């Protein structure tokens, strides 16, 4: 008998729809790391990321009977993750009267034992506006291409592309001097 881990997503989804627990577990094992990685970088705190990732999977398995396979399972579940994360982030913001603490010191991002650059990157990511962070995490951190991101977010690829460039520019602004290349001398811009 073939182990569920060796089946492709289409076969696993079909089995999972029939209530096969092993197939559900195999889908989870295959996609949970990427889902968690994206959610983690959209959540202000690690404990919230755990909750949001859990919520994503519960929603996904609840909704599995309605999944028709228009997109890949991984794309579909990531869309649920991002929408869940955005929904929860807005709820928290409302609850905190418009103030979301994205201070890495309180968000548990900064740890003395981690390299400085990583801490700075995480801090800057956390300070990015929600939409920019979403795009930058998907493209530059997780390596999805514009077409995949467009499918995940339900946008046009051209929109995602333009948002990415804005997000990169904002990230550079937030990082400030930390990635600055040493300049030997100021050179005037050509006119």
Partner 1 sequence: MSHLTPESLARLVDESPTPGEGAHLAACRKCRESIAELRAQTIALRALPPAAPPADAWEKITARLDADRIAPLHSGRITTIATRAAAAAIVFALGAASGAAFTRRGDAPQPAPSSEVVSAGEGRVAPISGAVSPDLALTRLRITEMLYTSALLDYAAATSPQPPRDAVARLATLETIVLTTRTALERAPTDPLINSYHLAALAERQTLLGQLRHTPESKQWY
Applying CB under 8 A, the residues found at the interface with partner 1 are 19-21, 24-25, 28, 32-33, 35-37, 40-41, 49-50, 53-54, 57-63, 66-68, 70-71, 76, 79-80, 83-84, 117-118, 121-122, 125, 136, 140-141, 143, 151, 154, 161-162, 164-169, 171-173, 175, 179-181, 183, 187, 189-191
Our CB check for partner 1 shows the closer of 41 and 134 to be 41
**Gap between the Cα atoms of 73 and 186, Å rounded:** 51
DSSP string, 77-146: HHHHHHHHHHHHHHHHHHHTTT-----HHHHT---TTS-HHHHHHHHHHHHS-HHHHHHHIIIIIT---H
Our CB check for partner 1 shows the closer of 9 and 122 to be 122
Q: How far is the CB of 190 from partner 1 (least distance, A)?
A: 4
Closest CA to 85 of 46, 133, 43, 29: 43
Our CB check for partner 1 shows the closer of 7 and 171 to be 171
Q: How far is the CB of 13 from partner 1 (least distance, A)?
A: 13
Distance from chain centroid for Cα 64: 21
- Give, for 23, the enclosing helix (H) or strand (E): helix 21-42
**Gap between the Cα atoms of 19 and 16, Å rounded:** 5
Q: How far is the CB of 92 from partner 1 (least distance, A)?
A: 17
Q: How far is the CB of 10 from partner 1 (least distance, A)?
A: 15
Our CB check for partner 1 shows the closer of 18 and 99 to be 18
């Amino acid at each position: 008998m073939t182990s569920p881990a060796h089946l492709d997503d289409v076969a696993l989804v079909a089995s999972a729809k029939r209530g096969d627990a092993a197939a559900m577990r195999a889908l989870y094992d295959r996609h949970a790391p990427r889902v968690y990685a994206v959610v983690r970088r959209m959540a202000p705190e690690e404990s919230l990321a755990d909750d949001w990732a859990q919520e994503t999977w519960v929603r996904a398995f609840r909704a599995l009977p309605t999944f028709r396979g228009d997109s890949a399972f991984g794309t579909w579940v990531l869309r649920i993750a991002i929408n869940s994360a955005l929904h929860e982030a807005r709820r928290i913001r409302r609850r905190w009267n418009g103030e979301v603490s994205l201070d890495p010191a309180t968000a548990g991002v900064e740890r003395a034992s981690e390299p400085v650059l990583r801490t700075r990157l995480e801090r800057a990511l956390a300070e990015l506006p929600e939409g920019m962070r979403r795009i930058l995490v998907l493209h530059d951190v997780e390596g999805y291409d514009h077409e995949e991101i467009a499918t995940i977010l339900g946008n046009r690829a051209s929109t995602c592309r333009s948002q990415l460039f804005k997000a990169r520019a904002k990230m550079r602004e937030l990082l400030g001097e930390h990635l600055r290349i040493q300049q030997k001398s100021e050179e005037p811009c050509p006119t």
